[in-house]
Amino acid sequence: MNRSMIDILACPIDKNHPLELYEIKEKDNVVSEGALFCPKCSRFYPIIEEIPIMLPDELRNKEQEMEFLTNNKQKLPDKIITMANPWHL
């Protein structure tokens, strides 16, 4: 994801803008791994292989997102790891 996309992205659930960007891997203004966080609804959206995965709750891949959180728990803020409920169950 090109870093400049943060200026146009909004949460697909509540349309909140701007989102918070947390880079895990970034090179030349391209985030290859990271997370977007909506401070309004506390949802996070992973960035995997340069692609922000911003789907509605019913289409999200829970296993993929749990693996992403587990693999990156030391690199992401606590509000994503502990407070964000990605599926709002």
More confident residue, 89 or 41: 41
- Separation of alpha carbons 71 and 59, rounded Å: 21
pTM: 0.89
With bands split at pLDDT 50, 70 and 90, how would you rate the model's confidence at 85?
low
For residue range 2-47, what is the model confidence (pLDDT) as tens digits? 999 999 999 999 999 999 999 999 999 999 999 999 999 999 999 9
- Separation of alpha carbons 8 and 66, rounded Å: 26
